[in-house]
């Protein structure tokens, strides 16, 4: 036990904190990054159910704020739309998930399989407008994916440095 009493414990505690925060952010970014590597599938239908998770709903934090919806009454397949508040405001001019006629408007959805029956939306189109791959994937998901990857790398590097300091630095 003398090994622990001779070390500064706050290095270890902050190391665990930064590693945990990095892992937590990674859990939010990983599904989007995994969807970049998958082939897109085309789906056609009308929205039967839409929801915004309440934990981060409406905060406009990238990858935390998302819209989940199902089409054609299929309870097995869930589509996840990661979009900023600005993109959703532009989209609301031609389609809103909360509108009374949302279930009557036909949609064309291009999405990549995340896992099982969850799909990440890469483009969305209806007869009144569209959300293109460039707007949704390139300008939003890829951009914020790189920012989150940098933040995660920095958090894990800080965690590693603090852990090494805990191992090698002794109390005076």
Task: For the chain, give every domain's residue range.
Answer: 2-168
CB neighbourhood size of 112 (10 A): 19
| Residues 125 and 107: beta-carbon distance below 8 Å | yes
The Cα 165–Cα 7 span in angstroms is 9
What pLDDT is stored for residue 1 in this prediction? 47
* Tokens describing residue 95: 């389609």
**What does the pLDDT look like over 36-91, one tens digit per residue?**
888 889 999 888 888 877 676 677 788 888 888 999 888 888 999 988 888 888 88
The Cα 69–Cα 170 span in angstroms is 54
């Amino acid at each position: 036990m003398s090994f622990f009493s001779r070390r500064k414990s706050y290095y270890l505690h902050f190391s665990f904190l930064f590693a945990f925060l990095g892992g937590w952010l990674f859990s939010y970014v990983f599904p989007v990054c995994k969807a970049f590597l998958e082939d897109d599938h085309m789906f056609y239908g009308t929205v039967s159910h839409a929801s915004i998770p309440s934990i981060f709903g409406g905060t406009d934090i990238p990858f935390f704020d998302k819209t989940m919806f199902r089409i054609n009454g299929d309870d097995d397949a869930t589509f996840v739309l990661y979009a900023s508040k600005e993109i959703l405001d532009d989209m609301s001019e031609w389609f809103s998930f909360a509108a009374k006629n949302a279930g009557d408007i036909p949609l064309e959805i291009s999405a990549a399989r995340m896992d099982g029956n969850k799909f990440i939306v890469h483009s969305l189109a209806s007869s009144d407008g569209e959300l293109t791959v460039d707007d949704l994937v390139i300008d939003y998901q890829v951009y914020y994916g790189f920012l989150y990857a940098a933040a995660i790398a920095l958090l894990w590097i800080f965690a590693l440095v603090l852990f090494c300091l805990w191992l090698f630095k002794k109390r005076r």
